[in-house]
Structure 1
Amino acid sequence: MSIMQLESYAGGQWVGPSGKTRKIFSAVTGEHIANAGSDSLDFQAVIDYAKQKGGPALRAMTFHDRARMLKALATYLNERRDPLYELSYKTGATLADSKIDIDGGIGTMFVYASKGRREMPDAHIYPDGDLEILSRNGTFLGQHYCTPLLGVAVHINAFNFPMWGMLEKLAPTLLAGVPAIVKPATSTSYLTEACVKMMIESGILPEGAVQLIMGGTGDLLDRLDCQDVVSFTGSANTASYLKSNDNILKNGVRFVAEQDSLNASVLGPDATPDTPEFDLFIKEASREMTTKAGQKCTAIRRMIVQQDRVQDVIDAMSARLAKTVIGDPTADGTRMGALASLDQKRDVLEKAAEIGSECTLAYGDQDALSLNGDDLDNGAFVSPMLFHCENPDTASIVHSTEAFGPVATVMGYRDLNHAIELMNKGGGSLVASVITNDPSVAQQLTMGAGAFHGRLYFNNRDSMKESTGHGSPLPHMVHGGPGRAGGGEELGGVRGVTHYMQRTAVQGSPDLLTAIGGTYVKGAKFIEPPAHPFTRTFNELQIGETVHTPSRKVTLEDIEHFAHFTGDTFYAHMDEEAAAANPFFPGRVAHGYLLLSFAAGLFVEPNPGPVLANTGLNDLSFQKPVSAGDEVRVSITVKRKTKRTDEYGEVRWHVNMFNQDDEQVAEYELLTMVAFERT
């Protein structure tokens, strides 16, 4: 078998290993399969290439341009997964494990592509939060805006997910408009290299958007500045070493860490052995022990169950683990493959021995390990090991030592407060799960343990069929945790994008903020359109174009007709005495929805034109009641434009309704789809 010479991708060139190279071995057979090394790289040139080529190219694109780029890239990878699966087997992963890594990473990229199009503007600046009114008359306002950092993101990834770990960081980074330098863990880096080669070959990414380091980082961290970000996944010791780098500290380089986590799963007191919740707990816990051979930062390490159910859980877990066939991940029937490397095997066995010094081994025998397949004696295989901690209050190792493999410990709790105490003894975790059908249990554990956990996962008979699992970080939700887990966060939808941007408080007049953000700000000058905006195409419309309608008188007959026609005969519209007794109304008033209907009648252009559909209404509020005899008029302004397809885009309109005294009575945002060309 030929030995792979793994290449870095730097400065637009593929560079083979040089200098002091590291040998990489198959997790399954122990054979030497690859070499990696980065001694010949000029890391300042790598940084310069990212900042001078990748950064400007990405920032020239809008969020939607980058989202379309991510979708194209995800589609390209999705069509070429088979060779990636073949390489993944060498990491010890089964096909099911590989799908979590490969398909999961690609899926995350698809999600960010969608969120970029749906939740971010088709612009270069992202408005964060609501507009702040900083003056009495609204002439001086404030808005938080996020802009891309003018640096590079250095991604230092772990060995257990060589694809997902890369893609879940790349997706929000590229969507933010920041180039990335990817440094995978060497032991499984051959899968990362194969994926990056596909991405470069696709021609989808701008030059300099992504570079790859196969080997050590040399003096890379010594050359970063305040515009750069380091995102690290790995051990707490390595994270502490890296973020204490003098240059990182001196220049205030952002450092995001996702590290060790002694995640817990709690079996609720209502989950007796005859309930669906008990079976669900056993299923989830055993799956978390054996998926990826337990090499997941979110895997369950501590099972916290009622004291009188400890033996029930041990028996049920042992019976399920006994059915787990271990061996060659390509062999029929194999349910759990190998650890990622022989070094990892040694580490897991050492940590398991430490846990065993204060706990009893309830299931597992490394010496009697039987493997499914041939010639596996030199592979990184271990048995699942389930320990029982009889005294979790006085034990220390089980709450501070993570064996990063198929190793977990069962411990008993007396009551819910005790369960919370044990959960929090982990010192900060990425995730804790609670299997319960009792809402009061969920509420109490959230209040007691939420501060120590980045994610709380509740499951029961109602959600079990559709739930994604204790150990599955989703791109929509924050992934990270306090304390021992690193104190950082990743993913979380658009939140993950803003980690690679600078949030700036911008203050100024409505006109200036409108120009900066590309969204009409109330109080900015109106633009007189050459024709009714509903007759103008998406491309012709300009932000700020406004129509001011004539007035319409609201009569008592209108109010009563609307009430009887719709069935909305609420007393405020139909009973003068009762309405007058209400502190909000002067007497009988018009329905809010009647006013909305009148507003549409005032501003709509009835003839066929570019406006295709009304798709929604946001932020509706009523400021002042309208009585019979009052007059209402409307102003409608082009607020924001967003391309949706090659044929039409979404136009958001700011709608104000006023009475005869120029007092505002209602305000809302109207959404329409408008064609690019006249039909």
Structure 2
Amino acid sequence: MTIMKIASFAAGQWVAPGPNARPIHSAISGAQIAEAGGAALDMQAMLEFGRNVGGPNLRKMGFHDRAKMLKALAMHLGKRKQELYDLSFDTGATQSDHMIDIDGGIGTVFVFASKGRREMPDGDIYIDGDIEQLSRNGTFLGMHIATPLQGVAVHINAFNFPVWGMLEKLAPTLLAGVPAIVKPATASCYVTEACVRIMLESGILPEGALQLISGGTGDLLDRLGAQDVVSFTGSAQTASMLRSNPNILKNSVRFVAEQDSLNASILGPDVEPGSSEFDLFIKEIHREMITKAGQKCTAIRRIIAPETHVQNVIEALSARLEKTVIGDPRAEDVRMGALVSAGQKQDVLEKAALIGTESALVYGDPDDSSFTGEVDAGAFLKPMLFHCQSPDSATVVHSTEAFGPVSTIMGYRDIPHAIELANKGEGSLVASVITASGDVAREMALGAGAFHGRLYFNNATSMKESTGHGSPLPHMVHGGPGRAGGGEEMGGVRGVLHYMQRTAIQGSPDILTAIGNRWVPGSTEIEGPSHPFTRKFGELSIGETLHTKPREVTLEDIEQFAHFTGDTFYAHMDSDAAKRNPFFPDRVAHGYLLLSFAAGLFVEPNEGPVLANTGLDNLRFMKPVEAGDSMKVRLTVKAKTRRTDEYGEVRWHVTLTNQNDELVAEYELLTMNAY
């Protein structure tokens, strides 16, 4: 068998493993299949290449350009995923596991590409939140912006997801405009290296955006500065060692950790054996025990059920585990493959023995070697289910994670007791609750929310479309407090902001407009050469403003609108009733009548570059309009966002004022304009 030489990609060059390379063995056969590490990598050169080449190249691009880059990257990886599948079998993963790791990683990149285009500006500065008025007359304002860090992101990943683990960190990092140095776990780094080669050879990424360390990090952490970030996934022990690096502490290097987690799944008190919710509970636990052979940071380690149902859960789960085919992951009927290595198998057995000091083994046998296929030398292990009869006094089951197909069931008396047991994990990535009761869910959220990064509720209503207890989604944050590391990844744009610096900006409206490329009320208005609706997207300028002529609102207008629409609310139709209302002086115009009149005042009716009105945001009515009042409109180009090569979105700031120049209404109008 040819031994794969797993290289690093450092400062623009592929570097083969050195003489002291570490051997890598197949989880299926135990035979050596690769070697990695041992090369003398120049860590300073890698950092400088990322900071001086990769960072500037990425920052030349705006958020939307980087989002397009991510989409192209995901599409390219999708065409080559079979190569990654073929390699991944030797990690012990089944084809179903590949779908989570490889397809899930690619899907995550697609989501960040979409969010970058839809939720981030078509520019290079992200505005975080609303404008803050810092002075009485609005001439001194504040806002928060986020800009890319000018260092390098060091991603240190675990062995269990060699593709998803890399891509879920890489996508928000590149979208932020920060280059990355990826360091996968050596046991499965051959899959990561293949994925990195595919990405680099595509030519989609700018030079310096991505580097790879196959092997040890050397003195890399000793060279990081305040503009750099470390994002780590792995054990709490390793996280503590890395986080306490004197240089990281000295320079306040951002350190994001996702580590050990004693995740729990709770069966609600409203769920009875034989119900669809009970079956769902068993199905979720079974899936989390066998997927990736239990080697998941989100796997269910503690099963918490009403004391009266503990035996039912043991019997149902044991029966399902008994039917699970375990063995060579390349076989179609195999549902669970091997642990990643013999060393990992030994570690799981040692941790399971510790759990066994407080719990009874009710299913499974660590010495059982009846697996499918010729896999005697592989790192295979049957699932083990323990029962802890005294969870209140137990300590090991709430503090020891056997990172494999091992879980412990325990009983609870009532909801507060269930919450107490779940929180004994001292911080977890996720807890799931199977319940149809909104009251149970609310009590759980209030009691357990502070100890968990994610709470997953499921029942018969959502079960067909739910994504599962153990599935972190790029839309939602992934991380947890305490033992889980205190970090947070993904969560859409929230994940991007981890690689950016939030800065408070203070100044005049014109200054804030110039920095954010987004018109701020009170800043300079520009008079265009013609009606703004007659000009294309690219011809409009931020701050360009149209002032309309006034229009009087009559009692006849109010009554006609009321009868035509059916909105005969008393404030529009009954003078005495309106006067009894503290908000109205007399009969008043409908708010939507004012919006309709506003459109009539500023719309250019002829065919032109305005393709569609797609909605309005932030509508507020400030002052009522009575019959006899007049209104006029100010329409200003607030922001512009490219959507395709054919059209872009224009966000207009609209204000309605009365005859006394008092603000009547304010909103933001969205149109699609031809490019």
TM-score (norm 1): 0.99
Determine if the alignment matches structure 1 residue 195 to structure 2 residue 195.
yes
Aligned to 1:212: 212
* Alpha-carbon distance in structure 1 between the residues aligned to 2:178 and 2:193: 20
Deviations 1:353-375 (A, max 9, x none): 1111111000001222211112x
SS at match of 1:455: strand
* Alpha-carbon distance in structure 1 between the residues aligned to 2:52 and 2:437: 56
Aligned to 1:631: 630
* Alpha-carbon distance in structure 1 between the residues aligned to 2:129 and 2:135: 18
* 8 A Cα contact 1:392 1:411, kept in partner: yes
Q: Structure 2 vs 1, CA of residues 203 and 38 (structure 1 numbering), >3 Å: closer, same or farther?
A: farther
Aligned to 1:10: 10
* 8 A Cα contact 1:39 1:216, kept in partner: no
* Alpha-carbon distance in structure 1 between the residues aligned to 2:295 and 2:665: 56
Letter in 2 for 1:588: R
SS at match of 1:87: helix
The correspondence of residues 59-98 of structure 1 with structure 2, limited to 5 A, is 59-98=59-98
SS at match of 1:336: coil
* 8 A Cα contact 1:620 1:668, kept in partner: yes
Letter in 2 for 1:138: G
Aligned to 2:551: 552
Aligned to 2:652: 653
Aligned to 2:423: 424
* 8 A Cα contact 2:15 2:39, kept in partner: no
Aligned to 1:52: 52
Aligned to 1:286: 286
The correspondence of residues 124-163 of structure 1 with structure 2, limited to 5 A, is 124-163=124-163
Aligned to 1:339: 339
SS at match of 2:641: strand
Aligned to 1:470: 469
Deviations 1:461-494 (A, max 9, x none): 1000000000000000010000000001000110
* 8 A Cα contact 1:19 1:40, kept in partner: no
* 8 A Cα contact 1:38 1:213, kept in partner: no
SS at match of 2:91: coil
Aligned to 2:373: 373
Deviation of 1:19 (Å): 3.9
Unaligned ranges ≥5, structure 2: none
* Alpha-carbon distance in structure 1 between the residues aligned to 2:536 and 2:445: 51
* Alpha-carbon distance in structure 1 between the residues aligned to 2:645 and 2:445: 46
Aligned to 2:578: 579
* 8 A Cα contact 2:16 2:39, kept in partner: no
Unaligned ranges ≥5, structure 1: none
Deviation of 1:39 (Å): 3.1
The correspondence of residues 243-262 of structure 1 with structure 2, limited to 5 A, is 243-262=243-262
Deviation of 1:218 (Å): 0.2
SS at match of 2:428: coil
* Alpha-carbon distance in structure 1 between the residues aligned to 2:200 and 2:29: 31
Aligned to 1:610: 609
SS at match of 1:481: coil
Deviations 1:388-408 (A, max 9, x none): 001001111100000000000
* Alpha-carbon distance in structure 2 between the residues aligned to 1:19 and 1:521: 61
Aligned to 2:24: 24
Aligned to 1:479: 478
* Alpha-carbon distance in structure 1 between the residues aligned to 2:415 and 2:202: 54
The correspondence of residues 157-556 of structure 1 with structure 2, limited to 5 A, is 157-374=157-374, 376-556=375-555
Aligned to 1:674: 673
SS at match of 2:40: coil
* 8 A Cα contact 1:657 1:664, kept in partner: yes
Aligned to 1:116: 116
Deviation of 1:336 (Å): 0.2
TM-score (norm 2): 1.00
* Alpha-carbon distance in structure 2 between the residues aligned to 1:274 and 1:177: 52
SS at match of 1:366: coil
Determine if the alignment matches structure 1 residue 34 to structure 2 residue 30.
no
Letter in 1 for 2:178: V
Letter in 2 for 1:380: A
Deviations 1:85-111 (A, max 9, x none): 000101000000011000000000000
Deviations 1:487-544 (A, max 9, x none): 0100011000000000000000110100100101011110010111101111110100
Deviations 1:569-607 (A, max 9, x none): 000000000001100000000000000000000000111
* 8 A Cα contact 2:22 2:38, kept in partner: no
* 8 A Cα contact 2:545 2:636, kept in partner: yes
Aligned to 2:588: 589
- What percentage of aligned pairs have identical amino acids? 72
Deviations 1:634-666 (A, max 9, x none): 000001000001100000000011000000100
* Alpha-carbon distance in structure 1 between the residues aligned to 2:470 and 2:369: 26
* 8 A Cα contact 2:369 2:376, kept in partner: no
* Alpha-carbon distance in structure 2 between the residues aligned to 1:53 and 1:407: 46
Letter in 2 for 1:131: I
* Alpha-carbon distance in structure 2 between the residues aligned to 1:79 and 1:654: 44
Letter in 2 for 1:12: G
Aligned to 2:642: 643
* Alpha-carbon distance in structure 2 between the residues aligned to 1:443 and 1:537: 50
* Alpha-carbon distance in structure 1 between the residues aligned to 2:27 and 2:368: 19
* Alpha-carbon distance in structure 1 between the residues aligned to 2:384 and 2:218: 38
Letter in 1 for 2:194: A
Deviation of 1:38 (Å): 4.6
* Alpha-carbon distance in structure 1 between the residues aligned to 2:484 and 2:498: 18
* Alpha-carbon distance in structure 2 between the residues aligned to 1:121 and 1:640: 9
Deviation of 1:70 (Å): 0.2
* 8 A Cα contact 2:145 2:503, kept in partner: yes
Deviation of 1:568 (Å): 0.2
Letter in 2 for 1:561: Q
Letter in 2 for 1:236: A
* Alpha-carbon distance in structure 2 between the residues aligned to 1:586 and 1:57: 61
Moved more, 360-369 or 87-96: 360-369
* Alpha-carbon distance in structure 2 between the residues aligned to 1:496 and 1:2: 40
* Alpha-carbon distance in structure 2 between the residues aligned to 1:39 and 1:664: 69
Deviation of 1:672 (Å): 0.3
* 8 A Cα contact 2:143 2:506, kept in partner: yes
Aligned pairs, number: 675
* Alpha-carbon distance in structure 2 between the residues aligned to 1:320 and 1:468: 20
* Alpha-carbon distance in structure 2 between the residues aligned to 1:81 and 1:216: 27
Deviation of 1:276 (Å): 1.1
Letter in 2 for 1:432: A
* 8 A Cα contact 1:527 1:544, kept in partner: yes
* Alpha-carbon distance in structure 1 between the residues aligned to 2:595 and 2:277: 49
* 8 A Cα contact 1:262 1:301, kept in partner: yes
* 8 A Cα contact 2:172 2:495, kept in partner: yes
SS at match of 1:539: helix
Deviation of 1:7 (Å): 0.6
* 8 A Cα contact 1:158 1:234, kept in partner: yes
